[in-house]
A and B are shown apart, each in its own frame.
Chain A
Amino acid sequence: MPGGTLNAVDGISFDVDRGEIVGIVGESGSGKTMTALSLLRLIPEPGKITSGKILYGEQDVVQMSDEEIREFRGNEVAMIFQDPMTSLNPVLRVGFQVEEAMAAHNRFTRQQARDRVIPMLQRVRIPAAKDRVRDYPHQFSGGMRQRAMIAMGVSNEPSLLIADEPTTALDVTVQASIIELLRDISRELRAAVILITHNMALVASLCNRVIVMYAGRIVEEGPTRAIFKNPQHPYTWSLLRSMPRVDETTRERLISIKGLPPDLGKMPPGCKFHPRCKFRVDRCLTEEPPLAEVDPGQDARCWVLMKNVQNPEAIAQT
């Protein structure tokens, strides 16, 4: 697209406190990963942050010098990715990679870093850590590799941890243990945690607050309980009803959301969700709603709001 600009993420504002786990949920292309990468100024070329601020304490990440951003990424933030195999170097021993992660920044000396490797691996509950420290990544299972990644991430005791689909590539029984580990680690570190995922159930399990993204925008945010029990945006509401649940007792027909998320290059006018929305009114077609408070602490970007809809199930099934 020569000369054009695509707004992958458009006017996002949120904050995360220490000790808090915030979930950013959305489908592919919703902008959730771009949002997280921009926090670290890691947006792939030719993308860039065209406006806005990212305040870490008092500092603005957007304005940091290259040296400052390096310090910030290494000492303050850790990122855990979906696929631990592609994030670990296959020709280096796992223990050495954990050591490097610590030594690369100036919090620990080389010797201190070396001494901390085995305790770190134990902390993420890698069994027989003393022996496994000399293994290569391919000798680890998927779950163990993710633990190693978490060890690297938390070894510098970051105050912000960003986990991008940390359990998506893992089997469900392994997933369960990684969820438990993340929960414990966040508690021990008293770090702020941002969990990026498409999995609403994972959010329900881990997060204090939820941000729901659609087409590069926040469409709803609030305390986890409010979002799940009382979603106000039609997208959130429908998404929760489109998922089968393992504990379901009746086989009710799933509510599906018609159509597809919009192309970044062909955004509809008005509310970006209106082409797929069963509850839209005329205004939605032309005027984009602001993200406005619907309940204390809960915001939604919608002219209608689900609390004003009578018998939404019946409408959604039509």
Chain B
Amino acid sequence: MSAQPTATPTTDPTLKSALVRVEDLVKHFPVAGGLFGRAVVHAVDGVTLAIEAGETLGLVGESGCGKSTLGRVIVRLQPATSGHVFFKNTDLTQMRGEKLRRTRQEIQMIFQDPYASLNPRMTVGDIVSEPLRNFGIARGRKAEQKVQEVMRVVGLNPNFVNRYPHEFSGGQRQRIGIARALVLEPTFIVADEPVSALDVSIQAQIVNLMEDLQAKYQLTFLFIAHDLSVVRHISDRIAVMYLGKIVEIGPSDAIRDRPLHPYTKVLESSVPVPDPDIEMARKPILLKGEIPSPVNPPSACRFHTRCPIAQKICSEVEPPLEMKESGHFAACHFAGQL
């Protein structure tokens, strides 16, 4: 379980003390073969948020909302089109050379697909120790010891260092991915759908492991997932993304009890609960239409084309992400009215 952030009743996205601060981040991808050859996918379109040291920020949204891209741009796996990512108050997007290398040790990523993200020709020992070699931290005996220690921490038998990824199950492979992320002793980990490829009984093992590791090493997580139930369970705060924008962000409990943005409310109402009595009464709010293309997103509020309570103003004036109650922000002209 993660430590509750002690300082301010979190969290103003512009908060200066945050470990990670994302400011007006934009990521556009050019699309090949657009009519004039310059169509652009607005994957991330002006995201501002802050992540405090020691907390887990959950990022939810449906496919194509830009959540994975946001995660990848934050860790600089992909360059930003514009905007800033401050890590310990230094702008990652501007960092170069040795400084960037050193900072990168502190920022790691865990991927969704434990099959695709591990090199099948490398042994587990090589996979987990590779970051140590890359950063010139340890080699030989010392690296071996470190690898064995990390394997033990993530619940893998250290005697398996010479085995290959295919000899492990999906859950164990995800542990290998976590071991590789941990070996550099990072402070900040972006986990992109880390449990969605796993069977239910295995998901719980990995979720518990991540919570244990966070408590043990005071890790800060950005936990990206489409599954609101998992995100709710693991996160201190939750950010909801729709078509490249954050539409709501706030403490987990507040998002559950008082969702302010209509889209959040729709998401909440759509998730079935393993309880037939509750299911009997649950009435999902069904959305009209399909998610619009991020190549040509709707004007002003991007949700207005599907929103059950949209008014004229929603297609004309973009609602800013505003604080509606302590630490709870929403971008909606009619927040809390659905």
Answer yes or no: B286 CB below 8 A from chain A CBs. Answer: yes
State whether B201 touches A239 (Cβ < 8 A).
yes
Of chain B, the residue at the smallest CB distance from A226 is B276
One of A28, A204, A238, A242 near B276 (C-beta < 8 A): A204
Which stretch (A53-61, A151-159, A195-203, A302-310) binds chain B?
A: A195-203
* A201 in contact with B273 (CB, 8 Å): yes
A173 contacts B200, CB within 8 Å? no
Chain A CB within 8 A of B138 CB: no
Contacts of A180 in B (CB 8 A): 284, 286
Contact B290 A141 (CB under 8 A): yes
**Does A246 contact B229, Cβ atoms closer than 8 Å?**
yes
> Given the complex, which residues of A lie within 8 Å of B282, measured CB to CB?
205
Query: Within the complex, which residue of B200, B202, B253, B270 is in contact with A200, where a contact is CB–CB below 8 Å?
Result: B200
> Which chain A residues border B207 with CB–CB below 8 Å?
244, 254
Contacts of B268 in A (CB 8 A): 246
A254 to B268, CA, bound (A): 21
- Of A73-81, A255-263, A282-290, the one contacting chain B is A255-263
Determine whether the beta carbon of A253 is less than 8 Å from that of B208: yes
Nearest-Cβ distance from residue B120 to partner chain A, whole angstroms:
20
Residue B40 lies at the interface, judged by CB distance under 8 Å to chain A: no
Bound together, the chains give a CA A172 to CA B171 distance in angstroms of: 24
B residues in contact with A201, CB < 8 Å: 229, 271-274, 279
The answer for the CA separation of A253 and B268 in the assembled complex, in Å, is: 22
Q: Please provide the chain A residues from 216 to 251 with a CB less than 8 Å away from any CB of chain B in the complex.
A: 224-225, 228-229, 238-240, 242-249, 251
Task: Please tell me if the beta carbons of B290 and A243 are within 8 angstroms of each other in the complex.
Answer: no
Chain B positions 259 through 292: 1 when the CB is less than 8 Å from some CB of chain A, otherwise 0: 0000000111111111111110010101101110
Contact residues in A for B239 (Cβ distance below 8 Å): none
Does any Cβ of A come within 8 Å of B232's Cβ? yes
**A15 interfacial contact with B, CB 8 Å:** no
In the assembled complex, how far is the CB of residue B13 from the closest CB belonging to chain A, in whole angstroms? 24
B313 interfacial by beta-carbon distance below 8 Å: no
Question: In the complex, what residues of B have CB within 8 A of residue A229's CB?
Answer: 276
* Complex CA distance for A173 and B240, rounded to whole angstroms: 14
Which chain B positions have C-beta within 8 A of A143? Answer: 290
Within 8 A of A (CB), among B121-178: 169, 171
Shortest beta-carbon distance from A21 to chain B in Å: 12
> CA A179 – CA B286 in complex, angstroms?
11
Nearest CB of B to A264, in Å: 14
Task: State whether B232 touches A246 (Cβ < 8 A).
Answer: yes
| Interface: B324 (CB within 8 A) | no
CA distance A173 to B289 in the complex (A): 11
Interface membership of A63, Cβ < 8 A: no
Q: Is the pair B229, A244 in contact by a Cβ cutoff of 8 Å?
A: yes
- CB pair B278–A198 under 8 Å, yes or no, is no
Q: Which of chain B's residues has its CB closest to A224's CB?
A: B276
Tell me whether A20 is interfacial, beta carbon within 8 Å: no
Contacts of B101 in A (CB 8 A): none
Q: Is the CB of A246 within 8 A of B228?
A: yes
Residues of B within 8 A of A199 (CB): 272
Q: How far is the CB of B70 from chain A (nearest CB, A)?
A: 17
| Apart from the given pairs A198-B199, A245-B233, A257-B204, 8 other A-B contacts in the complex at a CB distance below 8 Å | A171-B62, A172-B226, A172-B228, A180-B286, A200-B200, A204-B273, A204-B279, A244-B234
20 A-B pairs with C-beta separation under 8 A: A27-B199, A171-B291, A172-B226, A172-B270, A173-B266, A179-B284, A201-B274, A201-B279, A202-B272, A204-B275, A205-B282, A228-B274, A242-B200, A242-B203, A246-B229, A246-B256, A253-B211, A256-B208, A257-B204, A258-B205
